[in-house]
A and B are shown apart, each in its own frame.
Chain A
Amino acid sequence: MTAVAPRPGRVEVHGVHKSFGAHEVLHGVDLVVEPGSVTVVLGPSGSGKSTLLRSINHLETVDRGFVALDGELVGYRRKGDVLHELKEKELLRQRTRFGFVFQSFNLFPHLTALENVVEAPVSAQGRNRREVEAEARELLARVGLADKADAHPRQLSGGQQQRVAIARALAMKPAVLLFDEPTSALDPELVGEVLAVIADLARTGTTMIVVTHEIGFARQAADRIVFMDDGRVVEQGTPTEVLDHPQHERTKAFLAKVL
């Protein structure tokens, strides 16, 4: 509470609306994520969790509302009272401040695990390849895959692939890590190894926003839990508040089904 220098990684979402065709998925979402905190977003399928996450790093453009990282608007540059839409080049540079982990991993299948991790820091951040490679090996070791550096993604299990994807996101040294249902595409026995890596990261003080269905993980690792339903944030609070003493009927109904 008495931070001297403000830590990076504060995410603010203000009144975000998003439609796909005639169907509005997000009806004005407000959310503040404190730097270094772990926020878990829960909610039934189709509640807009993933769309919200993808709006935060501008993978989806929003129809109305704003997202800001450390006070800097995502997707726009402010000049006085005028907002200029960012060109793709600037947008890509801004995105490097977010790490994104996909449900279906989306590793580049024609590149080795190491090349997957090295690619973006070199080509997007213009860093020295040799330096990045050394770091990438450390990152792969950190997710328990030091010996898989030269394997191609299809030679790895789903859990291993997702851990490479996490290392790839970390290599950008992002201020915020976004996880979009990181364990939903995994066999049950592989879920644990990925959650362990994420929980481990949670202790390092990177801001994390995790969309998941793993209630146990939410209880153990989250600082805050946000419950979404039908494109709105229904309630939020600490894990005890939301999971053990839910206030809203829809939260209670959801928890009754999954717990």
Chain B
Amino acid sequence: MRKREMSLLLLSRLSALLVLGVLGGLLAFLISRGGPVLGKELFFGDTPPLEALLGLRPVWNGLWPAVAGTLFLLLLTMAFAVLPGIGCGVYLSCFASPREKYWLSLAVDLLAGIPSIVMGLFGFLLIIFLRRTLLPRGSTGMLLAAFCLALLVLPSLIVATRSSLEALPDSLLLAAEALGFSRGQTLRHVLLPAAGQGILGGVMLALGRAAEDTAVIMLTGAVASAGLPGGLTSKFEALPFAIYYTAAQYADRAELDRGYGAALVLLCLSGGLLFLSWRLQRNLERRWKGVR
């Protein structure tokens, strides 16, 4: 065997083992430290869970406000992003003229490359700008953070929608045309349902990205202590920010343990979302491309 083949073989074995080893170590560490603290206590501290869930009593020393903040933030982000994301994807794959296609997909590519801290900076500048002009009472908060996160995840939504539609076989389109469907009908009754799983997968992927991002919310309204989310314009707690904050400054052992718990919870959340997304997109491929 030649030298080059040998070294490649060595490299491949080495890096596979290294990556697996490090990943395994990391997970074992997180689970061993975060696993034992998982439980009612981690989320609600010493507040009765039911009253905490209903928002009757505030939760101190628990993750519930951060979890609720993250969930609310995700909901709001999707409210901003889903329609434009899917709409734009549909337009790109089905209707855009070549020139529009070129410019729009260029914009999407460029947007996909923007570092998230720059998006956060944009949000911060935007609110300062709005305060000086239209909204003198505006402030950083949930709405602004969700808007910036929506911009951040738009590209993955657009790309997922577009590629799901483009993955459909031409025969589907031809059959619809042969049946005399109008274009709107074809889209609504044939193409979108057929690509639905893939698009849904894209939504999950976008949710996963929005859930884990820290840099954007750091600049647009996440705070260390706020209680449950109080409304669209108020500041909020969020899981990734809580993890970042705890790593830098935990007051005692209990707070550090909560940090491990939070890391594990966030990992499960984004892992779950990604898994769903992957399953949905695979189903789509299986159905239309015969890929196993």
**Co-assembled chains A and B:** no
